[in-house]
């Protein structure tokens, strides 16, 4: 694996991308919701990166109170990237899952706990055997309240991890670019497919 794929590109190094977005043509393969940019009233959004987005998306669509999920790319520079472009390491994007949830049925704290416990947030530009900037751990928040809760949860989980330093990127959400149709709900369509999720085995400490 080239070391270049473990360094985020500068603006001059990033691929140019395109003006035309990828728009999913099929509804959510599990619950039938439409995959678009519309967020139903009363719902909230959290965007997270936990390595390969296939297994991460399945983790969240299984949660009661999650309205819909979609996989895509965010946190980088290239507009409307393709999967092949993201894999070059020259877009700056992370593979992410956009989670639309009903806060009356599942709280942000529960989603963040799943995030911290179900992957290893200490690995930098990789997750297990998946190496490169696209696999970095990330939380992209959609409000100041979310941002502060994410930072506080990071502090609590860091205390539990002791000397293993969390490398998770926590930033306000930028544009979410949908991934191609074949990536959406991949493990529902391919139940025996690859899932790279693997946590540290350490539980999130309770809030005081």
From 52, 87, 107, 203, the catalytic residue: 52
Length in residues, the chain: 208
DSSP 5: G
Both structure tokens of 13: 């190094």
Q: Do residues 46 and 141 touch, judged by C-beta distance below 8 A?
A: yes
For 186, the 3-state DSSP assignment is: helix
CA atoms of 114 and 196, how far apart (whole Å) = 15
CA atoms of 129 and 52, how far apart (whole Å) = 10
For 150, the 3-state DSSP assignment is: helix
Q: Do residues 112 and 106 touch, judged by C-beta distance below 8 A?
A: no
For 176, the 3-state DSSP assignment is: coil
Determine whether 203 is an active site residue.
no
Both structure tokens of 178: 């949908």
Sign for the CA dihedral angle at 65, 71, 76, 77 comes to negative
The catalytic residue positions are: 52
């Amino acid at each position: 694996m080239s070391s270049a794929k473990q360094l985020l590109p500068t603006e001059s190094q990033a691929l140019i991308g395109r003006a035309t977005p990828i728009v999913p043509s099929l509804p959510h393969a599990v619950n039938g919701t439409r995959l678009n940019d519309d967020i139903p009233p009363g719902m909230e959004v959290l965007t997270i990166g936990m390595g390969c987005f296939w297994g991460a998306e399945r983790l969240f669509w299984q949660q009661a109170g999650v309205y819909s999920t979609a996989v895509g790319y965010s946190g980088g520079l290239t507009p409307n990237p393709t999967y092949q472009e993201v894999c070059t390491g020259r877009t700056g994007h992370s593979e992410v899952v956009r989670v639309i949830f009903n806060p009356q049925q599942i709280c942000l704290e529960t989603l963040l706990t799943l995030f911290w416990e179900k992957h290893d947030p200490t690995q930098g530009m990789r997750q297990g055997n998946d190496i490169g900037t696209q696999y970095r751990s990330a939380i992209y928040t959609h409000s100041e309240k979310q941002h502060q809760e994410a930072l506080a949860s990071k502090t609590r989980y860091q205390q539990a991890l002791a000397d293993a330093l969390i490398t998770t990127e926590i930033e306000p959400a930028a544009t979410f670019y949908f991934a191609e149709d074949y990536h959406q709900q991949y493990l529902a369509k391919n139940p025996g497919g690859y899932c790279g999720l693997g946590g540290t085995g350490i539980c999130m400490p309770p809030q005081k």
